[in-house]
Amino acid sequence: MELLSNLAIGFDIALSPYTLMLAVIGCFIGTIIGALPGLGPSNGVAILIPLTFTMGLDATSALVLMTSVYYGAMYGGRISSILLNIPGDEPALMTTLDGYPMAKAGRAGDALVLSGVASFVGAFLATIGLMLLAPLLARVAFLFGPAEYFALYLLAFATLGGMASNNQAKAAIASCIGLGISMIGVDNNSGLPRLTGGNMHLFDGIDFLVAIVGLFAIAEVFFFIESHGKNTSIGVKLEKVTIPVKDIIGSGWTMLRSSIVGFIAGVLPGAGASLGSFLAYMSEKSIAGEKGGFGTGVPKGVAAPEAGNNAAAGGALVPMLTLGVPGSGTTAVLLALLMTLNITPGPMLFTERPEVVWGLIASLLIANFVLLLMNVPMVKIFVKILSVPPWVLLPGVTMISFVGIYSLSGSYFDLLLMVAFGVLGYVLRKLDVPTVPVILGILLGGHMEDALRRAMVLSSGDWTFLFSSGISITLWIIAVAGFVAPMFLRNVLKKPQRITD
Amino acid sequence: MTKRLFKALATSAVLGLGATTAATAAECIAPANPGGGWDFTCRQIGKIMYDIGAVDKPVQVTNMAGAGGGLAFTHVVSERGDDADLIIAASSATSTRLAQNAYAGMTADQVRFVGAIGADPGVIVVAADSPYQSLNDLVEDVKANPGEVAFAGGSAVGGFDHLKPLMILQRAGVTDVTAVKYIGVDGGADAITQTVGGFTQAMTGDMSEIVGFLKSGDVRAIAVLTEERVPGFEDIPTAKEQGIDVVAVNWRGLYVPKDISDDDFNMWAERLQKVADSDEWKEAMAANGLAPFTKVGADFQTYVDSVVAEIRALSKEIGVIQ
């Protein structure tokens, strides 16, 4: 009952025409920001914060606007993943794996609608989870120490090898390149710079957005130049958009499972949305097995990461609101916004400022429905921005990439680095080495190392500390099983498959 | 076709404008990613300056993360040396890194420190169910089992949060302070979750980082590192009254480029003073656990110089730098 009365307070605030309008505007801007490569949700929200001050918004309205932008960006990230094979933001990385092949096979519309629905399911379930479980789930963060986080990241990397279906060795090499790149920067545990060549720009390591935009968008430009504008993979035709009812129903369970996986990953402060979509994709891939055809453009491969990353976005709000620990880059920006508005997130937020929390939750629910409407029937509007011919689109994408990356740190060094990553991406693609594991290596490698190093400091170098809790042992078992199982299961699974086919 | 092209261009132009600064508005560089203390300083001070009419356009905040503030420092010194419309967020972390020569040879006199208008008192915190009831309980345990006690804090090894327990232990007569374990995690709240979770025995941080957790009863503060008890938190004893004379506050302030005119410098000092005197700032301080700490203009420059010298001597003594 208390929940209902709280929700009533929330909807009372969120349903005023003004707030509703802010939610719609936020969703629209967010979707565009998400769809543009280089401008991830965290940049987008950071750039828009001053807007809330100039508009003179009160705390709740500002929060509604910014979270709408946040959710919108999570939805929008998939659009350029599917249509351009360039992830709009880092969690949308996994959506390129099946979304783009599906679009190339002439099913771009189906992929967009399906991923829109999957995003809705993920975000909706996560918001419900946030509403019902937030104060309880906050306690989960207390159970995760360095050893547990290390095992969690290990689990992610153990399943990485099976990601590129054509050649596992190349996927492994790619992830090693990523891990190597993640070593660059000041070592957190000794304060000494590593692999920086004395260059101060590298002290904080390499921002993965620079790597993503370089490896995907800039590399694409190089291919375009090489082929003199012919044979470019960019510019998938989007014909009529219909609702692929069969695919949506067919991936119902996938969406549900992925939402749960994503939400849990989001709740853990050290993990975040990228890990959420990755784990969701990999677990669905292993459930589907060889027959599932993940990586070739199957609907489930689109639904899984989208449900996963949107659920993780909702999950990441749990530690942000209840502990003040941001679970992802974007929630860190939202945290900044809250503190500027004199709201200190933490264990007391739910009791001290119920109107803020429940107003936020109610507006998230509203934003979700707005986004579903915006992204399914109106998907063509967003696509039009991206469906101009390649000779116009590519320079545009390049320009936006440069602006977006420059806004990260305001230094031209990142621009040079981005071009260098473009060259690397070009070379890797020529050698048929997948680029997604490179990014995941950069994205997760640093966190994994930090966790290991902290564990070693706390245990004075005793490695048995890594297996000292039930949670870490469980994660280790899943990781080892996830790594070894595909090797044996492959032979077992293939034979019956031939018979049934 | 042309229509689409214009749409695409217009979209990117709008976004481009959002990312760059309007020509004449003042700019505040937060030398870190959004969400931290420097970002708070820029956004809060910038917002209040605009709200009370000290500046006539909203202050544009630029996040320039890198090298713990070193990137922004270098950028200001080498490229924006005479930009009178520029302010940069600073704190004790800035002076600590300058003292430890962590900005690759840059020194404190290459910019002008214009003022601080609040300070975050240093605190030592333990989980609610911890056996330590006072700072001395903790210190005694460290003396008895040096390798058994671990601290978590929001700054990297050698940073300000790490120095606080080292200073306390050193003043309390612990000979080998380097045997004390410290893990640097991503911010104070994260350090608290590690401590409440029992992975570390104590958390070292700032008052603002622990306010919510104090109220919820998850943690107990066993010492605050100020001269006097902090208003609003009168039940937290100072380290000084427990016999360990350590004062460590994390001031929040600004520096400006070195080569701006004295008039411009004084103008910023004045604006900052206006913010310090405003009710909005008092409210913001109360909500975020900041204590009043106003030093503006030349007075502040002297303060920073003395702090830098002090931390340099201390870091050498403790062995953080050679």
Tell me the ipTM for this assembly.
Answer: 0.78
Instruction: With a cut of 70, say whether residue B8 has pLDDT above it.
Output: no
CB contacts of A204 in chain B (<8 Å) are: 65-68, 71
Nearest alpha-carbon partner for B284 in B115, B41, B122: B41
Structure confidence at residue B13 (pLDDT): 44
- Which residues, listed in sequence order, are joined to residue A186 by a DSSP beta bridge? A193
Structure confidence at residue A201 (pLDDT): 80
Nearest alpha-carbon partner for A135 in B187, B194, B218: B218
Choose among B71, B157, B187: nearest Cβ to A200. B71
Tell me which amino acid residue A256 is. Answer: L
Tell me which amino acid residue B79 is. Answer: E
Residue with tokens 């771009």: A108
CB B248 within 8 A of CB B290: no
State which of A50-64, A165-179, B100-114 shows the largest mean pLDDT. Answer: B100-114
* Distance, C-alpha B242 to centroid of its chain: 25
Which burial class, exposed, middle or buried, applies to B227 when counting CB atoms under 10 A from its CB (0-12, 13-18, 19+)? exposed
Q: Does A411 touch chain B (CB under 8 A)?
A: yes
C-alpha pair distances (Å), B173 with each of A197, B41, B169: 40, 36, 6
Report CB contact under 8 Å: B158, A347.
no
Report CB contact under 8 Å: A346, B211.
yes
Cβ neighbours for B312, distance < 8 A, ≥ 6 positions apart? B99, B100, B321
* Distance, C-alpha A210 to centroid of its chain: 15
Q: Closest Cα of chain A to B263: distance in Å?
A: 28
| Dihedral angle sign, alpha carbons of residues B45, B47, B51, B53 | positive
Question: How many interface pairs between A and B have CB atoms less than 8 angstroms apart?
Answer: 195
- A494 band by pLDDT with thresholds 50, 70 and 90: very low
Beta pairing, strands B150-153 & B202-206: parallel
- A425 band by pLDDT with thresholds 50, 70 and 90: very high
Structure confidence at residue B240 (pLDDT): 94
CB contacts of B61 in chain A (<8 Å) are: 49-50
Instruction: With a cut of 90, say whether residue A134 has pLDDT above it.
Output: no
Task: Count how many residues are written for chain A.
Answer: 501
Measure the CA–CA gap between A300 and A288, rounded to whole angstroms: 9
Structure confidence at residue B179 (pLDDT): 82
Measure the CA–CA gap between A221 and A216, rounded to whole angstroms: 9
Of chain A, the end-to-end C-alpha distance in Å amounts to 54
Sort residue B35 into left (φ over 0), alpha (ψ -120 to 50) or beta.
Answer: left
Report CB contact under 8 Å: B19, A406.
yes
Taking CA atoms, what residue in B is nearest to A191?
B157
* Interface subset of A 5-24, CB within 8 angstroms of B: none
* Number of other residues whose CB lies within 10 A of the CB of residue A426: 20
| pLDDT per residue as tens digits for the range A13-29 | 778 888 888 888 999 88
| pLDDT per residue as tens digits for the range B173-222 | 888 887 889 998 877 888 998 999 999 999 999 988 888 888 888 999 99
What are the structure tokens assigned to B134, written together? Answer: 């006072």
Report CB contact under 8 Å: B216, A458.
no
Report CB contact under 8 Å: B104, A200.
yes
CB A10 within 8 A of CB A359: yes
Choose among B58, B150, B284: nearest Cβ to A54. B58
Q: How confident is the model over A97-111, as a mean pLDDT?
A: 86
What are the structure tokens assigned to A45, written together? Answer: 């929200």
| pLDDT per residue as tens digits for the range A261-289 | 999 888 876 566 778 888 889 888 888 87
Q: Closest Cα of chain A to B301: distance in Å?
A: 26
Measure the CA–CA gap between A132 and A312, rounded to whole angstroms: 16
Measure the CA–CA gap between A51 and A345, rounded to whole angstroms: 22
Beta pairing, strands B291-296 & B111-127: antiparallel
CB A290 within 8 A of CB A296: no
Which H or E run contains A105? none
For residue A387, give the 3-state DSSP assignment.
coil
CB B85 within 8 A of CB B25: yes
Measure the CA–CA gap between B267 and B249, rounded to whole angstroms: 26
Measure the CA–CA gap between B26 and B48, rounded to whole angstroms: 13
The per-residue DSSP string of B213-225 comes to HHHHTSEEEEEE-
Residue B129: half-sphere exposure toward Cβ, Cα within 13 Å? 3
Q: Closest Cα of chain A to B172: distance in Å?
A: 23
CB B213 within 8 A of CB B192: yes
Which burial class, exposed, middle or buried, applies to A329 when counting CB atoms under 10 A from its CB (0-12, 13-18, 19+)? buried
- A260 band by pLDDT with thresholds 50, 70 and 90: very high
